[in-house]
């Protein structure tokens, strides 16, 4: 299981710059990210090198954020491998709330980060099907 920082960011000019500047100042690396926006706020989901430190520095700056458990699965960079992962989840009747891409910094292999319910059970299911989990 991996910890993700979920950030509720007001849709105003410079907000992402503020967030990334705060993280950079604390030497926190962004390893993967996805942003979903709405009219007034966006949700920025990030896997970072120090999730607890990120929440601390962002919260101290008045930015609303929290930690969320996610699953990260390394897949080979080949056509159809994301489909194979999603098919394995579907076969196990597991619903994915959202997913985004990161990379293994050592091997360069893609890592799919996703959120679902009952994470320990899903991790066990994926391991039993031969998938490599990260984090």
Domains of the chain (ranges; CATH) run: 2-68 (3.30.2130.10), 70-134 (3.30.70.260)
> What's the pLDDT score for residue 126?
93
**Which residue's entry shows tokens 């319910």?**
117
CB atoms under 10 Å from CB of 133, counted, come to: 16
Residue 104 has a pLDDT of 85
Q: What separation in angstroms does the CA of 26 have from each of 49, 54, 83, 126?
A: 11, 8, 37, 34
Tens-digit pLDDT profile for residues 8-18: 998 889 999 99
Query: What is the pTM assigned to this prediction?
Result: 0.86
Q: What pLDDT does residue 1 have?
A: 80
Please tell me the distance from the alpha carbon of residue 31 to that of residue 48, in angstroms, as a whole number.
Answer: 5
State how far the Cα of 6 lies from the Cα of 83, in Å rounded to an integer: 26
pLDDT in single tens digits along all 135 residues of the chain: 899 999 999 888 999 999 999 999 999 999 999 988 777 788 999 999 999 999 999 999 999 999 999 999 999 888 999 999 999 999 999 999 999 999 888 888 899 999 998 898 899 999 999 999 987
- CA-nearest of 58, 33, 62, 37 to 48 is 33
Output the pLDDT for position 109.
Answer: 87
For residues 24 and 69, what is the distance between their CA atoms, to the nearest angstrom? 23
């Amino acid at each position: 299981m991996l910890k993700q920082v979920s950030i509720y960011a007001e849709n105003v000019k410079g907000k992402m710059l503020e967030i990334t500047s705060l993280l950079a100042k604390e030497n926190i690396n962004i390893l993967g990210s996805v942003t979903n926006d709405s009219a007034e706020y966006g949700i920025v989901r990030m896997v970072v090198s120090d999730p607890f430190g990120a929440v601390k520095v962002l919260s101290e700056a008045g930015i609303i954020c929290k930690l969320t458990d996610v699953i990260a699965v390394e897949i080979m960079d080949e056509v159809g491998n994301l489909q194979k992962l999603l098919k394995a989840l579907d076969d196990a009747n597991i619903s994915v709330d959202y997913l985004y891409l990161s990379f293994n910094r050592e091997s360069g292999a893609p890592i799919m980060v996703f959120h679902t319910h009952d994470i320990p059970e899903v991790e066990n299911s994926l391991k039993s099907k031969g998938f490599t989990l990260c984090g």
